[in-house]
Amino acid sequence: MKKPMHILKADQFDRNFLAYLFELTDNIRRLDKSKEGQMYLQSLLNHKRAMLYFTQPSTRTFMSFQSACHILGIKSLEIRDSSTSSERKGESVEDSLQTFSSYVDLIIMRSPIAGLCDKMAQLLNSTHRPVPIINAGSGPDQHPTQALLDMYTLNRSFRKSGGFKGKTIALVGDLKRGRTVRSLSQLLMQYEGVKLLFVSPEEFKIGADLRTQLAEAPGLSFEETSNFKAAIGAADAIYMTRVQDEYDLSGESKKIDTKEFHLRLEHLPLLKKDCVIMHPFPRRDEIDPRVDQDPRAKYWRQERNGMWTRVALITNILGVDNRIIMPEL
Ligand code: NCD
């Protein structure tokens, strides 16, 4: 059996693929505008089933993947807690995932363990029924589909102002353990003339491995800073993130004061006129909810874009994307 295409890490995508996926996503959104288009989308994969295996908390990613499946007619099964599966009886996660592959055509998984998806993909490739795996978040390591929806949102926002070239993007918060920042940075690295500002307290600076990758990326420049106000004033996009304290060893995050890195109403006059404010969510105090009223706040739209980007990705993985380009419907 042919090896399926797994979605494991952001850096597996190149610019051509991203451009293709953005267009595919736009076409899917267009189709969804009419009942006929919606019925057509639902007919594309209504013979398929997907497993949503989410053993780490999730609201948006889970719901957007589930909705993406429904939009395409895919029936979804779910496990959200390994204590309700046979892992409780001592079954290994490897055996559990191989079991799912007996029943479904696609596995979408989120786990607190970095690297588990890669391991599973390898394992499934060696079985007689290898189904594709989509990484929906693997510990502090990777969140490739979040990076796709973030890029889609940025691409739409930058369309009128000449694209990514020359843009400054500030990434703020817990950059050390935030998988969204890590995956997004890996995609942004492919766009020449982009400048990244990593804005955090000392304790939450990006990891050494990402720093090395950034330094090797041609055409990209980056800076690490703790000057929040200067960074947001210079940015064409601001990507806010929360403290990832679920990875604390002993509550150490509590000792770090992040207040200086929160976006409040008083900061809005400092921002560029067309600045794009983003957040992968969930948010805590990083963005005052009153900022939501500002037209530059794009995070709710970003959240919905996640569903459309995931629909596009699934059509691609399951080989029906060639049936999407029909905007006259
Ligand atoms: C992010 C995640 O799970 O990494 N959330 C999401 O998927 N939208 C960000 C976070 O939890 O802080």
* Annotated catalytic residue within 6, 9, 143, 310: 143
The reported pTM is: 0.96
Whether residue 211 lies in the annotated active site = no
Region 4-19: what's the mean pLDDT?
94
Categorize the per-residue pLDDT at 212 as very low, low, confident or very high, splitting at 50, 70 and 90: very high
Q: Are residues 252 and 297 in the same domain?
A: yes
pLDDT value at position 133?
97
pLDDT digits (tens, 9 = 90+) for 247-282: 999 999 999 999 999 999 999 999 999 999 999 999
Q: Are residues 293 and 167 in the same domain?
A: yes
pLDDT value at position 89?
84
* CATH assignment at residue 321: 3.40.50.1370
Q: Are residues 106 and 59 in the same domain?
A: yes
Per the structure, how many domains does the chain have? Answer: 2
Q: Are residues 157 and 105 in the same domain?
A: no
In this structure, which residue's CA is closest to atom 11 in ligand 1?
A: 282
* Annotated catalytic residue within 25, 55, 61, 145: 61
pLDDT value at position 88?
78
Q: How far is the CA of 40 from the centre of ligand 1 (A)?
A: 31
pLDDT digits (tens, 9 = 90+) for 62-91: 999 999 999 999 999 999 988 877 777 889
Please report whether residue 1 resides in a domain: no
Q: Are residues 162 and 251 in the same domain?
A: yes
Q: Are residues 54 and 192 in the same domain?
A: no
Any ligand 1 atom below 6 A from CB of 137: yes
pLDDT value at position 1?
57
> Closest ligand 1 atom to the C-alpha of 56?
3
Any ligand 1 atom below 6 A from CB of 61: yes
What single DSSP character describes residue 92? Answer: -
Q: Are residues 180 and 245 in the same domain?
A: yes
Any ligand 1 atom below 6 A from CB of 281: yes
Region 102-126: what's the mean pLDDT?
95
What percentage of residues in the chain have a pLDDT greater than 90?
A: 91
Q: Give the C-alpha separation, 224 to 180, whole Å.
A: 17
Whether residue 143 lies in the annotated active site = yes
Q: What is the mean pLDDT of the chain?
A: 95
What range defines the domain where residue 22 resides? 10-142+306-325
Q: Are residues 206 and 189 in the same domain?
A: yes
Task: For residue 224, give Cα distances in angstroms to 88, 154, 202, 207, 323.
Answer: 44, 21, 10, 11, 44
Q: Are residues 44 and 129 in the same domain?
A: yes
Please report whether residue 45 resides in a domain: yes
Q: Are residues 83 and 64 in the same domain?
A: yes
Please report whether residue 109 resides in a domain: yes
Q: Are residues 124 and 259 in the same domain?
A: no
pLDDT value at position 329?
43
Helices (H) and strands (E) in the chain, counts: 10, 9
Region 233-239: what's the mean pLDDT?
98
Task: For residue 298, give Cα distances in angstroms to 107, 124, 150, 238, 290.
Answer: 30, 38, 10, 10, 13
Please report whether residue 82 resides in a domain: yes
> Closest ligand 1 atom to the C-alpha of 242?
12
* Annotated catalytic residue within 9, 48, 110, 205: 110
pLDDT digits (tens, 9 = 90+) for 25-60: 999 999 999 999 999 999 999 999 999 999 999 999
- Residue with more model confidence, 306 or 4: 306
pLDDT over 90 (residue 325): no
What sign does the CA torsion over 153, 14, 206, 194 have?
A: negative
Q: How far is the CA of 237 from the centre of ligand 1 (A)?
A: 18
Q: Are residues 17 and 133 in the same domain?
A: yes
Region 108-123: what's the mean pLDDT?
95
Place of tokens 């996660």: 93
Whether residue 110 lies in the annotated active site = yes
One-letter identity of residue 139: G
Please report whether residue 245 resides in a domain: yes
Q: How far is the CA of 282 from the centre of ligand 1 (A)?
A: 6
Please report whether residue 256 resides in a domain: yes
Q: How far is the CA of 323 from the centre of ligand 1 (A)?
A: 31
Any ligand 1 atom below 6 A from CB of 179: yes
Please report whether residue 113 resides in a domain: yes
Q: How far is the CA of 129 from the centre of ligand 1 (A)?
A: 31
